[in-house]
Structures are given as C-alpha cells and as structure tokens.
Amino acid sequence: MNLQNPKKFKLLTDQAHEVALNVLRPISRKYDKAEHAYPKELDMLASVVDGMNAGGDGMNAGAAVNKRGDTASGNKNGVNMSTALSIVEMCYGDTGLLLSMPRQGLGNSAIAAVANDEQLQRFHGTWAAMAITEPGCGSDSAAIRTTAVADGDDYILNGEKIFVTSGERADAVVVWATLDKKLGRAAIKSFVVPKGTPGMTVERLEHKLGIKASDTAAISFVDCRVPASNLLGNAEIDVSKGFAGVMETFDNTRPLVAAMAIGCAKASLERIKQIFKHELDEHYQTAYLHSSQITAQIYRMEAEWEAARLLMLKAAWMADNKQPNSKEASIAKAKAGRVGNEITLKCVELAAAVGYNEDELLEKWARDSKILDIFEGTQQIQQLIIARRELGKSSSELK
C-alpha cells in the first residue's frame, strides 16, 4: 500500500486547502454565532464544486457513483478517494460549513449508491438530505418505524424523523421507511421526497453543541404521498439479501465522515504545534522519552492522527476498487471519530486559556468534532459491526 496521497489529486486538494483557509475560516465564527442562518458565501463555492464534479474526479458526496459502468481492473484511485481527500481539507477550514454545502448532502450518497440509471438522471443536481434517525430509534437503523404503504402508483409515508442534516435547506429528503414491520430489515427502503411535498413538515431546527452553521431538522410525515418511481433501487422485498441495499450507502459515507474528523483534528494539531513550536523538535530527532510532557502528548496525537488517516484512505481505496469494505469503513469511522474528538479536546486543554476563549477556533473545533464520533453510527455501533464481521455473526446473533 502506497502511503502517499495520489499525485493526480494534488491540484484538487491544494484548491480545497486554499478554500478552507480563504473562504471557510474567515466566516467560521460568524456562522457559529448565527445558528440556522444560511451561509450565502457557499453559493458561489458550490457552483465551483459542481464544475469540478462535472469534469471528473471532484468533491462529490455521492461517492458511490464511481462503481457504475466501471470495468477497469487493477489499482484505481477514483471519486471515493478524491472526495475523502477534499473533505479532509475542507474540514480543516470548517466542518459545519462543509455540511452546509449545496448538493453535497448525505442523501446524494444514497442516490448514488442504490438509484437506477433513470433515477440518477432525474435526481441529478438535486440537493438531498438523509432522514434515518427517529425519536425511538437512534443507532439501530433497522428498528425504524416510519411506514411506506403502497397505494396505486404511489407510496404513503407516515412517521417522524429527527437530526436530519440540511433537512430544511435541501431540495429533497431521502427517507428510510419500512414496507412491512414484520419482515424487519429486509423491508426497509429509501424514498426521495421533494421539498414541499404535502404531508412533509419541518417541525423544528435543533440547537446544537457544534456544527451550528449546518441546519439539523426534525421532520414529520403525515399521509405523505410519494410516487413509486421515487423508491430508490428495487421495490421487491428480498429477505435473503436483507438490509444490504440501503446499507451500501454507509460503506461509502463512513470513510467520508472519518475524513471530516481527520480534517478537523488536523486543524487543531497544526494550531497547537504553532503555539508550542519552541518546544518541538521539527525533525523528530529527540527521543520520545527525553521529550517534555507536552511534546510527548503532541507526538502521541500525531501518531494517532496518522493511523486514522491511513485507515480512512484504505476504506476509500477499497470502495474505488469495488472491494467489500463494510468492516474497513466502520474501522476507519470508529478510529477517526474517537481520535479526532480526543485530539481537539486535548489541544484545548494544552492551550489552556488560549484554547478556551473565542479569540481562537480551538474551542469551536472541539465542539464540532464531537458529532463526528456520533452520526453515521456511534462508536459503539461501529465496534459492534466490526465484531460481527470478524466473528462471522449476524445482527441477530450478536447484539
């Protein structure tokens, strides 16, 4: 495994880095304080990103699209890798603003992962949010209670979703619902529900610890009628396949959440190294045991960060090369989520008063990083998935 970033993505990552420093950082505190206000500065930036995506490997939350019609063999660094590397740099600027980028929602990843060719074309350019979590169902996505009942050429949705990122701003919401509660996971399907559909109501926007620039909505569905053609993928319930169809989304997005954590932690690490630059040996020639306590802690954080980065790259590379990566995606997300939060909090601690006040962004990065260990599956859920894969157990056998 080559441990360097692919050279062909250097221009892309350099551009993302410059955007982080010159566009996102300057407005980071502004939208942290103006919670729920839409960052209008992102409109022009989103148009640039759209152009990058149209031209080939760019930054596209629908990273799974690379698998379609791709018959190339051998080592491939494609859109999953380019997306992950771009996200690292963008979150080096601001995680909440990245999550607010138009047409880069997690719902776009669901469309890319399981939509058919006609749906891909029809929903092209749509900004899609993802609605999975419910009041009585958090980490166990298979326990969702939102129902979808066939009615002629439509489905009627009833239920409630919470913690929907970009739920108010997005053009559409990808809603997970069950066709038959008695059949469990196999009956869960995803539906694209356009904004303004009768019966879909944004009930409230959440006030959060971090990522305040990103709107997080609670949405209700009361007799919400959706065309059957908006059901993503196969409408048939295949008990033998179970949950596999909709879960393909997570295999592509969990490495991206890991990339978010790595980018946010990178920002904190660089700042703490600047603060203590006179104590650090930039060439790493001083033995670890001969270093000061602060220096040793920074070196340890760097090592953990690098381990998380490499795990993320592996999961993204496997997705590009059409290798099953469910376990690796969970490993990357679990490691990066935990390490990212630990690093940002430790940097606040080491910087003392400098890290705790709002003159610096260190305290903001610490608040932002916490969600990256929670959404897309908590730390505990990732460890459970990894254990199931390692032991060859099903979800019913290992809970």
Tell me, what CATH number does 196's domain have?
2.40.110.10
Asked if 173 and 300 sit in the same domain, the reply is no
- Give me the mean pLDDT over the 245-269 stretch: 89
Asked if 172 and 306 sit in the same domain, the reply is no
Asked if 292 and 382 sit in the same domain, the reply is yes
In a domain, 320, yes or no: yes
Considering 73, 96, 122, which residue would you say is the last residue of a domain?
A: 122
Structural domain tally of the chain? 3
List residues with catalytic annotation: 376
Asked if 368 and 256 sit in the same domain, the reply is yes
What is the CATH number for 293? 1.20.140.10
CB 40 within 8 A of CB 52: no
Asked if 369 and 253 sit in the same domain, the reply is yes
Asked if 264 and 385 sit in the same domain, the reply is yes
**Secondary element (H or E) of residue 38:** none
Asked if 147 and 118 sit in the same domain, the reply is no
Asked if 73 and 144 sit in the same domain, the reply is no
In a domain, 215, yes or no: yes
Asked if 303 and 253 sit in the same domain, the reply is yes
CB 41 within 8 A of CB 27: yes
In a domain, 238, yes or no: no
CB neighbours (10 Å) of residue 168?
Answer: 18
CB neighbours (10 Å) of residue 302?
Answer: 14
DSSP state at residue 302: H
pLDDT in tens, 89-133: 999 999 999 999 998 888 888 888 888 899 999 998 899 999 999
CB 164 within 8 A of CB 217: yes
pLDDT in tens, 37-54: 999 999 988 887 777 666
**Nearest to residue 90, comparing CAs of 260, 339, 289?**
260
Q: Give the per-residue pLDDT at 240.
A: 58
In a domain, 252, yes or no: yes
Asked if 208 and 262 sit in the same domain, the reply is no
pLDDT in tens, 208-245: 999 999 999 999 999 999 999 999 988 888 765 555 55
φ, ψ for residue 357, nearest 5 deg? -95, 170
pLDDT in tens, 119-170: 999 998 899 999 999 998 877 777 899 999 999 999 999 999 999 999 999 9
In a domain, 154, yes or no: yes
Q: Give residue 175's domain range.
A: 128-230
pTM across the whole model? 0.93
